[in-house]
Structure 1
Amino acid sequence: MSFFLETLVGGLLAGVMYALVAIGFVLIYKASGVFNFAQGSMVLCAALVFVTFREKGVDGPLAFLITLAIMVALAIAIERVVLRPLVNRPQITLFMATLGLSFVIEGMAQFLMGASVHELDLGILDLPMEVGPIQVSQFDLVAAGAAGALVIALSLLFSRTRIGISLRAIADDPKAALSIGIRLQSLWAIAWAIAGFVSLVAGLLWGARQGVQFSLTLVVLKALPVLIIGGFTSISGAIVGGLIVGAADSLAEIYVGPLLGGSVSTWFVYVLAVAFLLVRPAGLFGEHSIERV
């Protein structure tokens, strides 16, 4: 029983890491209705910038602030240079723009800072810690705490502040929001800046977990089932979806994999996501679209 609990808790905490990446997608989608496929490249870029400054001897807090400024500037530049000219274009056009942008960011980041694997030490020990009858990784607990703090802060931003309410209005109907005086471009820039901050947090945690390398961009592939299950428009749904994906992935690998004669971690959560699409297309916490006919 203790082994099952350790596997379950380990999966839940790993799912929080996926949720961190998914939150970046949700932020942009809630504010502009754009699925930002470049989020994974932004995660890689943030981690590369931070670790480059650290390797040059810059102190951790200062390196974090410099990297944050660079990521915010990059996010705002993306919104102004790439997406602002495409306002009111079809969604597929915006998606293809972010898809191409992901390769540009990834290539430029590795061209300027190298393509070798970098070790990133945040000073967080990845050692087992006894919690009751089970052992839990200290690193996973810190990551879960960071994700929880982000979820609370972002949920309050979108539900209690004027900026958050305006962003929700823009996502529902950009033209109606403009007609009542909401400044579309300024609020989109704010949303992208926040997404840049989330990319930095996710990049640091994932970089410390598996090293700063090209494979960080592939984290977005595991974030997709999280978004499908939790819903593209819900920050709390991203966390719930991440927990489901993490737990299902870990448990299936241990209990289903041996029955099928191999690893199932590469495909099991996608099958689960397809099942959710068939039963609940908007996800657990997603907003159902209402169209006039």
Structure 2
Amino acid sequence: MAFFLETTLGGLMAGVLYSVVALGFVLIFKASGVFNFAQGAMVLFAALAMARFSEWVPAWLGFESMLLANTIAFVLAAMCMLVFAWLVERLVLRHLVNQEAVTLLMATLGITYFLDGFGQTIFGSAVYRINVGMPKEPIFVLDNLFQGGLLVNKEDLIAALIAATLVAVLSVFFQKTTTGRALRAVADDHQAAQSIGIPLNRMWVIVWFVAGITALVAGIIWGSKIGVQFSLTTVALKALPVIILGGLTSVPGAIIGGLIIGVGEKLSEVYLGPMVGGGIEIWFAYVLALVFLLFRPQGLFGEKIIDRV
């Protein structure tokens, strides 16, 4: 029982990180109707910016405080994502209003390859480490319930708490703030939102910036765990099955879908992997997404669209 709970807990922690990246997909699609294939590249670009700025800032300003360097690096990386959001709206989105979905998808593919190349040109292509002071050693919890307790990685636990906090902050932002309500109005009906004076272009910049911040947080966490390298783009794209499972237009669906996939892939690897030679964790999420596409393409919480002819 203790081993099962350890595996489940590890899956939940991984699932929270998938949910953070999936939120970027959902927010951008809801606000602008764009399926942002570049979200994975945004994670890599943001992580590269954070890693390199945290190295450069102490040399520029002449101090050795890791906390101060990381804080300044985070602010600079966030500013990079703000500039990126503004450029995407200015150079891409405003010129593709009312275009076909495939046109917008191809535009985000172009952004993906541009970010991959531009990020490595500016920040370098080596494997970089992000050190934000998260402890690496494991701890034992619930020793009063289970003999020996449950083994939990401190870094995974802190990362899950950070990701959960970000999700909670975003939920409050969209539910309680004026800007959040405006974004929800844009998501429901672009033309109606414009008719009551909501500036569509500014809303797009905000939502791409928020997606950039989620990418930055995910990039920092994964960069701290496995290093900042090109494979981060592939890891981040694990969020694609999450949004298929939860629903492309549902914020709660992104969260619950991430948790289901995180737990499912861990349990299947541990309990079914030995029967088939392992490797289930690599493809489990995509097979589950394929099943949902066949039987419930709108996902668990997505909107079912009926076209009457």
- For 1:107, give the aligned amino acid: G
Aligned to 1:130: 140
Aligned to 2:263: 247
Which string of whole-angstrom CA distances, capped at 9 and with x for unpartnered residues, describes residues 6-27 of structure 1? 1111111111111111111111
**Pairwise CA distance, 1:144:** 1.4
Contact 2:57-2:73 within 8 A present in 1 as well: no
- For 1:71, give the aligned amino acid: M
Contact 2:43-2:236 within 8 A present in 1 as well: no
**Pairwise CA distance, 1:101:** 0.7
- For 2:123, give the aligned amino acid: M
Which string of whole-angstrom CA distances, capped at 9 and with x for unpartnered residues, describes residues 170-227 of structure 1? 2232223222322111111111111111111111111111100101111233111111
In the aligned structure 2, how far is the partner of 1:96 from the partner of 1:271?
A: 25
Range 168-177 or range 39-48, more displaced: 168-177
**TM-score, structure 1 as length reference:** 0.95
Aligned to 1:76: 86
**1:17-96 map, 5 Å:** 17-58=17-58, 59-96=69-106
Aligned to 2:109: 99
**TM-score, structure 2 as length reference:** 0.90
Report the 3-state secondary structure (helix = DSSP H, G, I; strand = E; otherwise coil) of the residue aligned with 2:127. Answer: coil
Gaps of 5+ in 1: none
Structure 1 runs of 4+ with >3 Å offset: 290-293
Which string of whole-angstrom CA distances, capped at 9 and with x for unpartnered residues, describes residues 270-289 of structure 1? 11112222333222222223
Contact 1:47-1:204 within 8 A present in 2 as well: yes
**1:129-148 map, 5 Å:** 129-132=139-142, 133-148=149-164
- Change in 2 beyond 3 A, CA 1:73/1:250: same
Give the count of matched residue pairs. Answer: 293
- For 1:169, give the aligned amino acid: A
Question: Do residues 154 (structure 1) and 164 (structure 2) align?
Answer: no
Which string of whole-angstrom CA distances, capped at 9 and with x for unpartnered residues, describes residues 56-110 of structure 1? 2431111111111111111121122111110110111111100111000110110
**In the alignment, which of 168, 180, 189 is matched to residue 164 of structure 1?**
180
Report the 3-state secondary structure (helix = DSSP H, G, I; strand = E; otherwise coil) of the residue aligned with 2:238. Answer: helix
**In the alignment, which of 167, 173, 179 is matched to residue 189 of structure 2?**
173
In the aligned structure 2, how far is the partner of 1:64 from the partner of 1:100?
A: 26
**Pairwise CA distance, 1:237:** 1.7
**In the alignment, which of 265, 273, 276 is matched to residue 289 of structure 2?**
273
In the aligned structure 2, how far is the partner of 1:4 from the partner of 1:185?
A: 48
- For 1:56, give the aligned amino acid: W
In the aligned structure 2, how far is the partner of 1:25 from the partner of 1:119?
A: 26
Determine what percentage of the aligned residue pairs are the same residue: 53
- For 2:10, give the aligned amino acid: G
- For 1:4, give the aligned amino acid: F
In the aligned structure 1, how far is the partner of 2:129 from the partner of 2:260?
A: 29
**Pairwise CA distance, 1:241:** 0.9
Which string of whole-angstrom CA distances, capped at 9 and with x for unpartnered residues, describes residues 130-170 of structure 1? 22131111111111111211221211222233322222222
**Pairwise CA distance, 1:292:** 4.4
In the aligned structure 1, how far is the partner of 2:57 from the partner of 2:204?
A: 35
Contact 2:247-2:302 within 8 A present in 1 as well: yes
Gaps of 5+ in 2: 59-68, 143-148
In the aligned structure 1, how far is the partner of 2:90 from the partner of 2:173?
A: 23
Aligned to 1:192: 208
Report the 3-state secondary structure (helix = DSSP H, G, I; strand = E; otherwise coil) of the residue aligned with 1:118. Answer: coil
Larger radius of gyration: 2
In the aligned structure 1, how far is the partner of 2:18 from the partner of 2:247?
A: 14
In the aligned structure 1, how far is the partner of 2:45 from the partner of 2:219?
A: 8
- For 1:3, give the aligned amino acid: F
- Change in 2 beyond 3 A, CA 1:184/1:292: farther
